[in-house]
Amino acid sequence: MKKALNVWLKKNQLTKAHNDYSAEVLIKGNLDAGNIIDELISEGLNMNREIALNLITRFNKKTTELLLSGFKLDTGLVNVRPIIKGFIYGGKWNPYINSVSLAFTESYDLRHALAETKVEIVGEHGEPLKTGILSDLNTPHTDKRYYNDHCAELRESNMKFTEDNESSIIFRKWLFKA
């Protein structure tokens, strides 16, 4: 299979440099273990699909069990090890501050495959949407007062874009009810 990633360029909004970009990979789709097994079978793997899926499922369960028992694992694709996040204050575990997580690093083979992957730039994302005036549909208020204890949910069907002197978005009043 061809190793090439298509990427969109995104202008770096944190600098004024006209040629400062980051890249966002264009995702082709989502695949699960069953899809990958189907790909392998179509490439000539001589194995029953259910047996292969059962093997991967059992491998994942055993990997999880070993990781959470304190083992560092090399799966051939990635190296994984358990880590603890957060400071341990007073020598006691606090589930509100501390958590168990995993650290991943790519394997030797994956690092070499990454080095050989071609990156193709497909285009540039446009400027991000900038809001100028926030207006209430039921009243003439256009003040820019926002309260920290209220949230707003933006939905496409509830937005109206207008072409005034300043770009503005008009939201329905009920969007701001807590």
* Residue that wins the pLDDT comparison between 102 and 10: 102
* Residues 30 and 49 both lie in one domain: yes
* Residue that wins the pLDDT comparison between 18 and 63: 63
Q: Containing H/E element for 46?
A: none
DSSP3 helix / strand / coil % (the chain, rounded to 5):
25, 30, 45
* Residues 117 and 138 both lie in one domain: no
* Residues 92 and 119 both lie in one domain: yes
> What pLDDT does 127 receive?
52
pLDDT at 175 over 60: no
pLDDT digits (tens, 9 = 90+) for 81-121: 999 999 999 999 999 999 999 999 999 999 999 999 999 99
* Residues 55 and 14 both lie in one domain: yes
How many structural domains compose the chain?
A: 2
Interatomic CA distance for residues 97 and 147, integer angstroms: 28
* 6-to-16, 134, 166 alpha-carbon distances in Å: 26, 37, 35
* Residues 62 and 104 both lie in one domain: yes
Interatomic CA distance for residues 155 and 164, integer angstroms: 21
pLDDT at 25 over 60: yes
pLDDT digits (tens, 9 = 90+) for 45-84: 899 999 999 999 999 999 999 999 999 999 999 999 999 9
Q: Indicate which CATH number applies to the domain containing 109.
A: 4.10.520.10
* Residues 92 and 137 both lie in one domain: no
Interatomic CA distance for residues 20 and 164, integer angstroms: 30
Arithmetic mean of pLDDT, 21-34: 89
Helix or strand or coil: residue 102? strand
* 4-to-27, 40, 78 alpha-carbon distances in Å: 12, 19, 20
* Residues 86 and 8 both lie in one domain: yes
> What is the SS3 string spanning 56-85?
HHHHHHHHHHHHCCCCCEECCCEEEEEEEE
With bands split at pLDDT 50, 70 and 90, how would you rate the model's confidence at 126?
low
Mean confidence (pLDDT) of the chain? 77
